[in-house]
Copies of this chain bind each other. A is one copy, B any other.
């Protein structure tokens, strides 16, 4: 893409978002490739532009503007060595902690590294001296790309200002035509709403409090808790939820599904409920308050993304921007626990309605018995979790592998009052090194159960040596469907050609032998009773115990999952239809 209209919408949206976030001044050094930016900045009614021919002087001049105004100043130049002239001022800005946003225009990808004139490699041009570097996409005006460019604009301002203040570098590749379409320009139209306000302090700013108060007046709000581990947080967030009358959609890694806190507003079947299209639209929230990492549930992520909630607030004690939906319009960089406590204090006297919360609770109650219903004949993978829960004891920890186990945990692990801690590697969601990480955890949690698929188990077989060398006790459950089960849930499974070879990847390994080599005890269980017994016994054996669950074939597993979900979705749909009539 990159026609005149797309260019104008894309950059117009970007500029307007900068303005909304407090940018007032732009220092421009003339050039050709930067033409669309130069013209649009100059056109904007509330931006003061300065023209400075020498980029080195321009950058130092912008540094002065930013130093005195204590607001980020934008620098704009064309492609080539022009950008390198900013380097001295950028280094000075870094060490003197002055916020600058550097916009460099660039050739599009197809004209790079092929000897095109004035085309140099501008990626990471300032190395360690830009706090954030972004290679932007080619201008497009699809809703997704406009959301993206707004996010980048707002985040650039926040990042340039966040402690310690410094330099953000955005590199914009442009194709010709380079002239914007002034006739179709509408600053008001291309801007939808204000993105992001960040604070790095540990207490809420007055701006945050104002936003929270406004949000609390909405009737339909949800709290989403992803992977997060902070002592006392479950109690604090539950109190806040009760005060707001919002349900808590609690990811299995939120540590909210097990414990001694009040569970009355904790929803644990949202992943199944939201598989109903009717529920998906009927439950649309106006407020989303999100803690922790993005939840495991894909449909919940879609729900968050498509809700277009008026207040979509992400609370994160680290100055990070974990929101792949690109929909969050507020980031509060504040300690999560403190936020809940302070918010509860602020909202003490707010009145709330509970219809929306009641609906969520009702649907959750409707769905759970279906997910709990027995499937006698099968070694169904979901039962690895369903039959585990009853035998879990206080003080046991669970480490859950990625790919299918974490998803089955999401579907089949329900609220309970046990003291059970749940771990996973969800920073980058890899299947590598899971046994080793779990063994590291087991050094601090004597009764630890690891649940992994057979591919994950194979991947870190060598990790078992640590159990042997240091007598680290662990119970490992292998959900063995002889290959990569998750791919059977994905679209490529419909293409049978090469599927088994490239995605199924059966290893046909008999793990009993390798477990024996590492001095472990191995159980291959035939039914769930044997499985439960093996788990129970293992926790008192104080050594490496591997419990292998040979499950149904992978295709069958998908069908069994879908049957359960379909049954539940039918109940949800039926209930919602009755409500409407």
By a beta-carbon cutoff of 8 Å, the part of chain A in contact with chain B is 56, 80-81, 84-85, 87-92, 95, 120-121, 124-125, 127-128, 458-459, 461-462, 465, 468-469, 507-511, 513-514, 516-518
Instruction: Give the most central of A80, A121, A517: most B CB within 10 Å.
Output: A517
Verify B81–A84 contact, CB threshold 8 A. Answer: no
The 6 closest A-B pairs by CB, nearest first: A84-B87, A513-B517, A81-B88, A84-B88, A513-B513, A87-B87
In the complex, which residues of chain B have a beta carbon less than 8 angstroms from the beta carbon of A508? 468
Residues from chain B with a CB closer than 8 A to the CB of A458 are 462, 465
Contacts of A89 in B (CB 8 A): 81
Query: Are the C-beta atoms of B513 and A509 separated by less than 8 Å?
Result: no
Among residues of B, the one whose C-beta sits closest to the C-beta of A506 is: B469
19 A-B pairs (CB sep. < 8 Å) = A56-B56, A56-B85, A81-B89, A81-B92, A84-B88, A84-B91, A87-B87, A95-B120, A121-B128, A127-B127, A461-B462, A465-B509, A468-B508, A468-B509, A469-B507, A510-B517, A511-B517, A513-B514, A513-B517
Q: Nearest CB to that of A119 among chain B residues?
A: B95
Question: Which chain B positions have C-beta within 8 A of A91?
Answer: 80-81, 84, 120
Main secondary structure of the interface of A (DSSP, over half): helix
Set of chain B residues within 8 Å of A465, measured between Cβ atoms: 458, 507, 509
Expressed in whole angstroms, the Cα–Cα distance for A88 and B79 within the complex equals: 12
Residues in chain B near residue A121, CB distance under 8 A = 128
CB neighbours of A469 from chain B (8 A):
507
The closest CB in chain B to the CB of A81 belongs to B88
In Å, the complex CA distance between A128 and B126 comes to: 11
Chain B residues, Cβ within 8 Å of A85: 56, 87-88
Distance (Å) between the CB of A356 and the closest chain B CB?
51
List B contacts of A84 (CB < 8 A): 87-88, 90-91
Excluding A56-B85, A84-B87, A459-B462, 13 further A-B contacts by CB distance (< 8 Å) are A80-B91, A81-B89, A81-B91, A81-B92, A95-B120, A127-B127, A458-B462, A465-B509, A468-B507, A509-B518, A511-B517, A513-B513, A513-B516
* CA distance in complex: A80, B510 (Å): 62
Task: Give Cα A160–Cα B517 distance, bound, in whole angstroms.
Answer: 56
